[in-house]
């Protein structure tokens, strides 16, 4: 045998061995029972396949039913949830509508109140405007009337003013003339009656007789005079200088109407700053009291009992036609 023939024989041996080896491996991989069952008969294999198919179908059906139940439960839960949500929505909507209606009511009430207030205010404004208009109209017509009257009265008023002016001028002239006449008479009146002494523009009579205060006052009146009224310190000094010896004279001063309320015979009160009382006077001593004033030689005054008899001093103006002190109001102690 040749070398080529040997090589071809080798190859054939190798293929055969390879196929055997593969067949061995397949047999090793396949389970022995099933393999034997399948390989035992094709009919059995078909039956087995049918069984498997039926089992698979059954399993599929069961799984489908289970899944359908699950789906239906989920669907129910979803439906309930939807219903719940719907009911909660409805409730919320109801609540919301309730709140809205309450708010609407409240707002409409407030609106009504505001509207009525506004109405009141506008009425007030209207009233005020009307009053203002009325006032203005009345005021204007009043002013107009006044102006008209003024216009009508203008000439009369002017004449009246002129007359008044004339009158005041005449009155001033009259006053001046009267003053001149008075001065002239005072210049002419330089002498006091016999027994009377002059000081400034007055005449004084110092009595030598003595009388109670009231009688002394009456005596002065007979001479168209009055008990002396002291108006100044100079006058008081003049009187004191004329008092000779240790005598006192009645003054025209008394508090007979009210204790310690000293008044001159003309009714004027004795000023607090113008008093020449002696030390410790007036002391109102004695059971009758002392309500009539005297002047001492030193010019100081004393209150004495009015029923005492003392000399007195009368006073009157230089001109007999004119009273020496105005407003003479003699008293009766
Ligand atoms: C007193 C006076 C009093 C007089 C009466 C004098 O001693 O000093 O106050 O009026 O007596 O006579
Ligand atoms: Ca006295």
Ligand 1 in contact with 304 (CB < 6 A)? yes
The answer to whether 306 touches 216, Cβ cutoff 8 Å, is: no
Q: What pLDDT digit, counting tens, does each position of 31-77 carry?
A: 555 556 555 677 888 888 888 899 888 998 888 888 888 888 888 98
The C-alpha atoms of residue 260 and residue 249 are separated, in whole angstroms, by 20
Lowest mean pLDDT among 58-67, 175-184, 322-331: 322-331
The alpha carbon of 56 and the centre of ligand 2 are apart by a number of angstroms equal to 163
Ligand 1 in contact with 294 (CB < 6 A)? no
The alpha carbon of 304 and the centre of ligand 1 are apart by a number of angstroms equal to 7
Q: pLDDT class for 186, splitting at 50, 70, 90?
A: low
CA 93 vs CA 83, 106, 107: distances in Å? 15, 19, 20
pLDDT of 131 reads 75
Atom index in ligand 1 nearest the CA of residue 303 equals: 10
Ligand 1 in contact with 281 (CB < 6 A)? yes
Lowest mean pLDDT among 115-119, 205-209, 232-236: 115-119
Which is higher by pLDDT, 220 or 6? 220
**Ramachandran class of 284: left when φ > 0, alpha when ψ lies in -120 to 50, beta otherwise:** left
**Residue 223: in which H helix or E strand, if any?**
none
Residue nearest atom 3 of ligand 1, based on CA coordinates:
304
Which is higher by pLDDT, 3 or 197? 197
Ligand 1 in contact with 291 (CB < 6 A)? no
Residue nearest atom 2 of ligand 1, based on CA coordinates:
302
Ligand 1 in contact with 302 (CB < 6 A)? yes
What is the SS3 assignment for 248-276? CEEEEEECCCCCCCCEECCCCECCCCCCC
Mutate to test the pocket of ligand 1, among 302, 303, 306, 309 (most ligand atoms within 8 A of CB): 302
Mutate to test the pocket of ligand 1, among 278, 282, 285, 307 (most ligand atoms within 8 A of CB): 285
Please, which residues have CB less than 5 A from ligand 2, an ion? 283, 290, 302-303
Q: Is the bond preceding residue 10 a cis peptide, omega within 30 degrees?
A: no
The alpha carbon of 67 and the centre of ligand 2 are apart by a number of angstroms equal to 147
Average pLDDT of every residue of the chain: 80
Ligand 1 in contact with 185 (CB < 6 A)? no
Q: Which of helix, strand or coil describes residue 203?
A: strand
């Amino acid at each position: 045998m040749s070398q080529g023939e040997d090589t071809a024989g080798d190859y054939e041996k190798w293929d055969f061995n390879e196929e055997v080896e593969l067949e061995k491996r397949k047999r090793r991989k396949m389970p022995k029972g099933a393999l034997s069952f399948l390989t035992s008969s094709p009919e059995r294999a078909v039956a087995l396949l049918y069984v498997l198919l039926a089992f698979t179908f059954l399993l599929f059906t069961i799984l489908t039913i289970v899944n359908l139940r699950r789906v239906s439960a989920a669907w129910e839960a979803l439906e309930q949830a939807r219903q719940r949500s719907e009911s909660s929505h409805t409730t919320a909507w109801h609540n919301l509508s309730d709140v809205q209606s309450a708010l609407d009511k409240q707002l409409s009430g407030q609106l009504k109140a505001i509207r009525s207030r506004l109405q009141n205010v506008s009425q007030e404004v209207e009233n005020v405007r009307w009053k203002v208009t009325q006032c203005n109209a009345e005021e204007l017509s009043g002013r107009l009337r006044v102006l008209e009257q003024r216009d009508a009265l203008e000439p009369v008023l002017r004449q009246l003013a002129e007359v008044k002016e004339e009158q005041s001028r005449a009155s001033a002239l009259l006053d001046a003339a009267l003053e001149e006449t008075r001065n002239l008479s005072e210049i002419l009146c330089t002498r006091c009656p016999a027994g009377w002494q002059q000081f400034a523009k007055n005449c004084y009579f110092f009595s030598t007789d003595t009388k109670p205060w009231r009688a002394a006052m009456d005596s002065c009146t007979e001479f168209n005079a009055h008990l002396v009224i002291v108006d100044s310190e100079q006058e008081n000094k003049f009187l004191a200088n004329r008092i000779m010896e240790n005598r006192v004279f009645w003054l025209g001063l008394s508090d007979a109407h009210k204790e310690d309320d000293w008044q001159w015979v003309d009714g004027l009160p004795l000023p607090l700053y113008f008093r020449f009382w002696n030390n410790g006077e007036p002391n109102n001593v004695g059971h009758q009291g002392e309500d009539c004033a005297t002047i001492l030689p030193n010019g100081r005054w004393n209150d004495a009992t009015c029923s005492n008899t003392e000399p007195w001093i009368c006073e009157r103006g230089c001109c007999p036609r004119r009273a020496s002190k105005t407003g003479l109001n003699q008293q009766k102690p």
